[in-house]
Amino acid sequence: MSDLNFYNTTPDGLLDVMVEIKDTSVFKKGAIISIKHRSIFEPFLSIIQKVEGNKIFFKISDIFIKNNVLKGDYLSCHVMQDHYEYVFYGMITDIDINYPWFVEVELENIKKFKNNRKSKRYLVNFQSKIIPQNLNGGIYAIIKNISMTGVSTIFKENISKESLINVTVSASINKTLDLEFIARVTRVIKREIYNEYGLEITKIDDKNKDILEKLIYSLECDESLFIVDSFKL
């Protein structure tokens, strides 16, 4: 059980209002989940394919195979729903090698957090470039969630809270257009192998605001839009 200490973290931007629940009915087939495993550098996205009692199922990922994820390992998963977010921990109890190649996870702990964000965020995995305004050179980062007012991103470098940064996001909206804006660092969370930053958009021009609005609308229509087809049935 000590392995769970690695996953014992609070999603950024949430109030310190947390309750432990046992009701797994909050998890629905088709929900987007962010999955974390100790041997994998950054969380990845998948889709809940079914729920049975206190077990959830999702399709196995090549990431699992490449990183030697096995039955008996622990996972942490993050789900966003309306005004609340859920972090649940569980053990992999089965990995089916036959189609549709489901991973079975038995839930042992579910935490419910009150959402304190200004606008709805969507779980994503977008490559991005971060350029602090007082430094030369860019930083490779990964956007983990996005909204009309800000993003959460991870990278290894250290940037101080309240710093202003230029952000370029490759969001697969258009092959030739990236999303660009200026943001302020509002939150810094030190993780074990990377840092997690909360960024508030402070300046965005009309062209990029239009790109962002179209992206958010697309995610509102289909939150699985940017999840690779291998995770879908």
Per-residue pLDDT band for 13 (boundaries 50, 70, 90) equals: low
pTM of the full structure: 0.75
Distances (CA, A) of 156 to 44, 69, 105, 188: 17, 23, 29, 12
Q: What is the CATH number of the domain that holds 9?
A: 2.30.110.10
Does 111 lie in the same domain as 18? yes
Dump pLDDT digits (tens) for 26-82.
888 888 999 989 888 778 889 999 999 999 999 988 888 888 999 999 999 999 887
Query: Would you say residue 134 lies in a domain?
Result: yes
Note whether residue 24 is domain-resident. yes
pLDDT at 14 over 70: no
Lowest mean pLDDT among 145-149, 179-183, 222-226: 222-226
pLDDT 10s digits, 66-92: 889 999 999 999 998 877 889 989 999
Question: Are 152 and 188 a contacting pair, CB within 8 Å?
Answer: no
Residue 3 has pLDDT above 70, yes or no: no
* pLDDT: which is higher, 2 or 92: 92
Q: Which of 175, 167, 233, 170 is nearest to 204 (CA)?
A: 167
User: Residue 225: is its pLDDT beyond 90?
Assistant: no
Whether 233 is covered by a domain: the verdict is: no
Paired tokens of 198: 């909360």
> Is residue 31 located within the same domain as residue 76?
yes
**111 with 192, same domain?**
no
DSSP assignment of 67-92 equals TT--TT-EEEEEEEETTEEEEEEEEE
Tell me the average pLDDT across 110-123. Answer: 82
Average pLDDT estimate for 132-161: 90
Judged against a pLDDT cut of 50, whether residue 108 lies above it is answered with: yes
Between CA 141 and CA 157 the distance in angstroms is 9
Which tokens go with 176?
A: 């030739």
Same domain, 88 and 190: no
Residue where a domain terminates, one of 116, 139, 163: 116
Residue 94 has pLDDT above 90, yes or no: yes
The verdict on residue 228 lying in a domain is no
101 and 156 assigned to the same domain: no
Which residues fall within 8 angstroms of residue 134, CB to CB, at 6 or more apart? 163
Domain at 168, CATH number? 2.40.10.220
Judge whether 179 lies within some domain.
yes
Asked whether residue 84 falls in the same domain as residue 108, the answer is yes
Spatial CB neighbours of 51, under 8 Å, sequence gap ≥ 6: 24, 25, 27, 28, 29, 57
pLDDT for position 141: 94
**Is residue 7 domain-shared with residue 86, that is, in the same domain?**
yes
Average pLDDT over residues 83-112: 91
- Number of independent structural domains in the chain: 2
Domain-terminating residue out of 116, 136, 170: 116
The dihedral through the CA atoms of 172, 80, 111, 25 has a sign that is negative
In SS3 terms, 111-175 reads as EEEEECCCCCCEEEEEEEEEEECCCCCCEEEEEEEECCCEEEEEECCCCCCCCEEEEEEECCCCC
Average pLDDT score over residue span 18-29: 78
Q: Are residues 138 and 185 in the same domain?
A: yes
Q: Is 167 in contact with 184 (CB distance < 8 Å)?
A: no
Residue 179 lies in domain:
122-221
User: Are residues 21 and 96 part of one domain?
Assistant: yes
* Whether 15 and 109 share a structural domain: yes
Q: 127 and 111, same structural domain?
A: no
Buried b (16+ CB within 10 A) or exposed e, 71-105: eebbbbbbbbeeebbbbbbbbbeebeeeeeebbbb
**Residue partners of 221: CB distance under 8 A and separation at least 6:** none
Q: Which has the higher per-residue pLDDT, 10 or 206?
A: 206
State yes or no: pLDDT of 131 exceeds 70: yes
Average pLDDT over residues 199-225: 91
Say whether both 217 and 142 belong to one domain. yes
Instruction: For residue 100, say if its preceding peptide bond is cis, omega within 30 degrees of 0.
Output: yes
Both structure tokens of 51: 């729920």
